[in-house]
Amino acid sequence: MTTSTSSPRPLRLTDPGDLIAAVPAMLGFLPARSLIVLSLASDAGGRDGARSATVGAVMRHDLILPPGEDDPVPAAMRDVFDRFGALCDREGADAVLVVLVDDRLDHPDAPAVAAACRLLDDFAVRLDRRGVRIAGAHAVSEVACGRTWFALVGGARGTVPDPQASPVAAARVFEGGAIRRSRAELADLLTPLPMPGRMQVADHIDEAIDARDLAYELAVRAGGRDRADRQELEAVLAHIARHDDGAELLAPELAELAVLLSNSTVRDAVMALAAGAEADTAERLWVTLTRRLPDPERAEAAALVGYSAYVRGDGPLAGVALGVALESNPRHRLADLLDQALQAGLRPHTVRGLADTGYEIAARLGVRMPPPAPAA
């Protein structure tokens, strides 16, 4: 599984231990058996003129080592290297830093180190074709205070400081972000509730469709499609407000929301919420729907979670949510497009235009949305 995210502010790198300690905050979770690549733009450092680098994109993929001494680099890893290289091109990076987090890499003489170095050599060759160099490659068994890191080339080694005390971690927490113990814990946020509860919602879907079709037709007759769409958008916004006030949504209401969000005009309009003051409020409802709706209805809500996370720069959660959407409905066009953008490493501002379109749709329908937050 690939994860990419963007550093929300310039990060100056001076010590490998500090870099490794900052990785969980950059990703939003503690990585395990992972390849982490940070694109770098080199610049002059502080007053002493020392060189430093600013982190751009942060990329992660499951680490797959060659199983045997004579086995080739796995094709999946070569694909990852090419994808990461293409992202470095888009970032204008001239170098990368590589961090391998793997319990098999607990000391420089571990048997797995040779396999890791073969991976690194293959990656270096592919990057060199793009004019990008590996500025450093470090390995650590886990990102934890006191663990020993070591360079895969050269004899450098050191100790990882407390990740929770990292300035990057402090900034993430201050901004309301969480650092989860693993990627699996991140995925648990969107794990569906037990089937009996979801089936209760499923039992109301057909009834909700019939009620919606009748209400929509009557609204169209009374004032045209814009009036019908406005009525449905206002209904979704009302549900968001009720959910934020702590009201429990019952199965019929959840089914109604599933049907309302199947209206692409309404779905596109509520994407504006991801860029506004009510982004967290809306996302909480999308998460609830993702967990409580049946398939394939949950795909719409999961795509909205993915978009909301993407816009605020939480690439790991966006990737998980979009994966859920595509698993629920493999032909979900919005989720597929967003997933492709995320995998390609496109930055959040490049997809924020979808929120702008949402504001335009809402304005056309005569619905006032929460004001947009300033673009980062």
Regarding whether 150 and 210 lie in a shared domain, the answer is no
Q: Is residue 88 part of a domain?
A: yes
pLDDT at 15 over 60: yes
Regarding whether 145 and 119 lie in a shared domain, the answer is yes
Q: Which residues pair with 39 in a beta bridge?
A: 96
Classify burial at 270, counting beta carbons within 10 Å of its beta carbon; exposed 0-12, middle 13-18, buried 19 or more. buried
Regarding whether 174 and 221 lie in a shared domain, the answer is no
More confident residue, 359 or 374: 359
Q: How far apart are CA 279 and CA 309, in angstroms?
A: 9
Please compute the mean of the pLDDT values over residues 288-315 and round it to a whole number. Answer: 96
Distance in angstroms between the alpha carbons of the first and the last residue of the chain: 27
Q: Is residue 356 part of a domain?
A: yes
pLDDT value of residue 175: 57
Regarding whether 158 and 49 lie in a shared domain, the answer is yes
pLDDT value of residue 68: 82
- How crowded is residue 88: how many other Cβ atoms within 10 Å of its Cβ? 24
Regarding whether 205 and 110 lie in a shared domain, the answer is no
Q: How many domains does the chain have?
A: 2
The pLDDT confidence band at residue 307, using thresholds 50, 70 and 90, is very high
pLDDT at 178 over 70: no
pLDDT value of residue 223: 93
Q: Is residue 48 part of a domain?
A: yes
H helices of 75-166, where?
75-91, 112-128
Regarding whether 289 and 357 lie in a shared domain, the answer is yes
Please compute the mean of the pLDDT values over residues 147-157 and round it to a whole number. Answer: 93
Q: Which residues pair with 158 in a beta bridge?
A: 149
How do residues 109-140 score in pLDDT, each as one tens digit? Answer: 999 999 999 999 999 999 999 999 999 999 99
340: tokens are: 């492709």
pLDDT at 53 over 80: no
Contact 352, 375 (CB under 8 A): yes
Q: How far apart are CA 135 and CA 39, in angstroms?
A: 10
Regarding whether 220 and 173 lie in a shared domain, the answer is no
Q: Residue 7 gets which letter from DSSP?
A: -
Contact 106, 116 (CB under 8 A): no
pLDDT at 51 over 70: no
Peptide bond into 296 cis (omega under 30): yes
363: tokens are: 């304005």
pLDDT at 376 over 60: no
pLDDT value of residue 1: 58
pLDDT at 208 over 50: yes
The pLDDT confidence band at residue 70, using thresholds 50, 70 and 90, is confident
Q: How far apart are CA 117 and CA 123, in angstroms?
A: 10
Q: Is residue 11 part of a domain?
A: yes
Please compute the mean of the pLDDT values over residues 234-242 and round it to a whole number. Answer: 96
Q: Give the number of C-alpha atoms closer than 13 A to the C-alpha of residue 29, restricted to the C-beta side.
A: 25
The pLDDT confidence band at residue 177, using thresholds 50, 70 and 90, is low
Regarding whether 91 and 145 lie in a shared domain, the answer is yes
Percent of the chain with pLDDT over 70: 89
More confident residue, 291 or 277: 291
Regarding whether 229 and 132 lie in a shared domain, the answer is no
Regarding whether 223 and 175 lie in a shared domain, the answer is no
How do residues 94-111 score in pLDDT, each as one tens digit? Answer: 999 999 999 999 999 999
pLDDT value of residue 375: 57
Q: How far apart are CA 171 and CA 33, in angstroms?
A: 25
More confident residue, 154 or 308: 308
Domain hosting residue 174, numbered range: 2-179
pLDDT value of residue 174: 47
Element at 21 (helix H, strand E): helix 16-27
pLDDT at 254 over 50: yes
User: Which amino acid, 37?
Assistant: V
Closest-CA residue to 81 (of 121, 28, 53): 121
Q: Is residue 373 part of a domain?
A: no
User: Which amino acid, 295?
Assistant: D
